[in-house]
Amino acid sequence: MTDTQAIKDRLDIAQVIGEYVKLKKAGANWKANCPFHNEKSPSFMVHPEKQFWHCFGCGKGGDVFSFLQEMEGLDFPEALKILADKAGVKIDTFASEVNKSQKNRILEINAKAAYFFNHFLLEMPASSGARDYLARRELKPETIVEWQVGFIPEQWDLLTQYLLKKGNSIDDLLASGLTIKKDVAPDSAKASTGKGAYDRFRGRIMFPLWDAHSNIVGFTG
């Protein structure tokens, strides 16, 4: 069973919606004045049996997740988390992983890339030139670790291939800006394998850019 179904099964949709809207019994169902449009007589229906809601006035409808999203202005992962807690269902990490918003996935990609650059700088023989350069610039080793300064050698798609192997999608990598599409005929580019895509940064010392929440939001080479 999927996590979302388990959550729906444990929650009474009428009870969840009833926390926001005054519901009146209508046979096996419930009705109310729609919270999403202005009306005087109720055309907003909640069907506990089928676990959905629908408004005949404005045409909106959906399940308990979409109701909470609409009502609270949440994205799906946020609604999932709130309702999972309410239902006492533990969402497995895989499901929450795929449902994460792209913005959060890109922050994770940046963190993985910073780790990759930093380890490459500290441990790979190919980085000795970069290490010498930073030593001449009097950048202390502890600063390199703390700021996660890194290095990427002059290779075509080293980082892109590493991040694909770590389970990231090529779409997210392109959206992160760390990977760019090769300018080739479309039929020779195989987007799913990462062929036809290459690293934006090559042969450079890398400095992560941090935001106020200790997220890495980008890099400067």
Residues in touch with Zn ion (CB under 5 A): 34, 36-37, 55, 57-58
* 187/204 Cα distance (integer angstroms): 31
Q: Which residue's CB is nearer to Zn ion, number 54 or number 112?
A: 54
Smallest gap, in angstroms, from Cβ of residue 57 to Zn ion?
Answer: 4
Q: Which residue's CB is nearer to Zn ion, number 37 or number 166?
A: 37
Q: Which residue's CB is nearer to Zn ion, number 34 or number 205?
A: 34
Q: Mapped to the 3 state alphabet, what secondary structure does 34-90 carry? A: CCCCCCCCCCEEEECCCCEEEECCCCCEECHHHHHHHHHCCCHHHHHHHHHHHHCCC
Q: Which residue's CB is nearer to Zn ion, number 31 or number 105?
A: 31
Smallest gap, in angstroms, from Cβ of residue 114 to Zn ion?
Answer: 47
Q: Is there a contact between 45 and 29 (Cβ–Cβ < 8 Å)?
A: yes
Which residues face 152 on adjacent strands? 204
- The tokens of 54 are what? 């629908």
Smallest gap, in angstroms, from Cβ of residue 37 to Zn ion?
Answer: 4
* 20/30 Cα distance (integer angstroms): 13
Q: Which residue's CB is nearer to Zn ion, number 37 or number 182?
A: 37
* 214/49 Cα distance (integer angstroms): 45
Smallest gap, in angstroms, from Cβ of residue 61 to Zn ion?
Answer: 9
CA dihedral 53, 85, 92, 73 (to 10 degrees): 50
